Structure 1
Amino acid sequence: MAQNNQIDGSRESVLKGWKSGCHAFAALRLSSQLERELGYAAGTIRKRINPNYDDAKLTVEQLIEITHASGRPELIEGVLQSVNYVGAPLKGSDQEATLAVQALKASQYSGELAQVVLQNANGSRLPRTERDRIRNIASAGIRNFVSVINTIEYKTAGIQPLLAMGADVAAGFPLPGIT
């Protein structure tokens, strides 16, 4: 019998995020290709990401290896969701964008998220595809905000933070209190 480690819920509810991540990753149909790349026996990844298959589970090292090889965050996001955390990569395509572009993207993601949530607000249930779509939009917004924070930290922690911020002001991004 599985031990219940939560005060107000079951072990099943704790694993809901992990199962969701496994289903999202399995839907990508990358298992066979990854098994060849990583040198695993055929069917190994498929068995290990199947939450209903108790005989084989992923180790942390394998989870990291699969995530790096695939470039897909679904499994990691599932683990984090199971412990009520949200993750975001620090490096990405937004790394070189200015603060103004990042602020506009934040607005875009917020608008998209609001639109999708309003479209699904009256439904009695939320299909998995819509739930994944909402999660993808929200994750993109979170990654954007992490990128903004990282950019601000980078520009204010260096030797010449005023020059870096001055370049943004010259490019047209107004800073609070200096407009």
Structure 2
Amino acid sequence: MEDEIAMYGLRERKQIAYNAVCSDFALNHNMEKLAERIGLKSGGMLRNKLNPEQPHKLCPVDLALLCKESGDFTILNTLFADLGVVTVPVPTEAEDKNLLERTLLNSSLSGELSSDAMRLCSADRLPRSQKRKTLAKAQSAISNLVLLINDLENRTTAFQPLMQFGSDFLANGAPIPGLS
């Protein structure tokens, strides 16, 4: 019985968070342009799908297209938050950054998050818009860190087996030219 009550509480809390993030999304983006790009008839229809008061609902395919076209994954991240999953957009070739740029971007985002944390600690209340902006910065920082890790892995995995083979070869008594 307690499991059912806890599940209902999770569902209600998740629905409230989903409604809030959909409302924020509609305020922060141009619905007319996005509706056209994802194949909906009008921005009004898209606004209705994002409005919890309307009977129209956002289907998973429309949600995926909407997030991809806008580059804003806050709706998906809100849905996945309790599952311990964060979406990470993979950059296209044009926006690919090198290792140094990723490291500097990480420092910049960390500094902004630290500044926000200091400001939020002394505030009496946290406005929803500020919460969403801070979450967007944190998710951007996570995305950057994942891509930084991916870049490091791609740079080191090709060389590691060769080095490991070489050290094993020498450590097992291989003759070294000039020293044997």
Read off the aligned partner of 1:61 and give its amino acid letter. Answer: V
TM-score by length of 2: 0.72
Which piece of structure 1 moves more, 63-72 or 81-90? 81-90
* Residue-pair matches, total: 157
- Aligned mates of 1:47, 1:122 — CA distance in 2: 37
Q: Give yes or no for contact 1:102–1:144 (8 Å, CA) kept in 2.
A: yes
**1:24, distance to aligned residue in structure 2 (A):** 2.3
Partner Cα distance (2:108, 2:37) in 1? 37
Give the 3 Å change call, closer, same or farther, for CA 37–144 of structure 1 in structure 2: closer
What's 1:126 paired with? Answer: 126
- 3-state secondary structure, aligned to 1:56: coil
Stretch of structure 1 that moved more, 88-97 or 15-24:
88-97
With structure 1 as the length reference, what TM-score do the two structures score?
Answer: 0.72
Q: Structure 2 vs 1, CA of residues 130 and 51 (structure 1 numbering), >3 Å: closer, same or farther? A: same
| Secondary structure of the corresponding residue to residue 89 of structure 2 | coil
Partner of 2:139: 139
Unpaired runs of 5+ in structure 1? 164-179
- Other-structure match for 1:50: 51
Cα contact 1:113–1:138 (8 A) shared by 2: yes
CA contact (8 A) 1:90 1:147 kept: yes
1:17 aligned residue: 17
Q: Which has the higher helix share?
A: 2
Q: Which has the larger radius of gyration?
A: 2
Counting aligned pairs with the same residue, the percent is: 24
Report deviation, 1:85: 2.9
Which whole-Å CA distance do the structure 2 matches of 1:57 and 1:72 have between them?
A: 19
CA contact (8 A) 1:18 1:81 kept: no
C-alpha distance in structure 2 between counterparts of 1:21 and 1:31, whole Å: 15
2:47 is aligned with what amino acid?
Answer: R
- CA distance in structure 1 between the aligned counterparts of 2:7 and 2:103, rounded to whole angstroms: 40
Task: State the AA in 2 paired with 1:48.
Answer: K
Instruction: Name the residue aligned to 2:98.
Output: 97
Cα deviation 1:15-37 (Å, max 9, x = unaligned)? 23322321221012422222233
Contact 1:77 1:86 in 2 (8 A): yes
Q: Indicate the residue corresponding to 2:66 in structure 1.
A: 66
Relative to 1, partners in 2 of residues 1:50 and 1:123: Cα closer, same or farther, differing over 3 Å?
Answer: same
* C-alpha RMSD over aligned residues: 2.8
How far residue 135 of structure 1 moved from its aligned partner, in angstroms, is 1.1
Distance of 1:69 and 1:8 partners within structure 2: 33
Q: 1:6 to 1:32 in 2, by over 3 A?
A: farther
Amino acid across the alignment from 1:137 = K
Alignment partners' CA distance in 2, 1:32 and 1:45: 8
TM-aligned CA distance change 1:137 to 1:32, over 3 Å: same
The 1:143–1:39 alpha-carbon spacing in structure 2 relative to 1, beyond 3 Å, is closer
Residues 1-40 of structure 1: pairs in structure 2 closer than 5 A: 6-7=6-7, 9-40=9-40
How far off its partner does 1:128 sit? 1.6
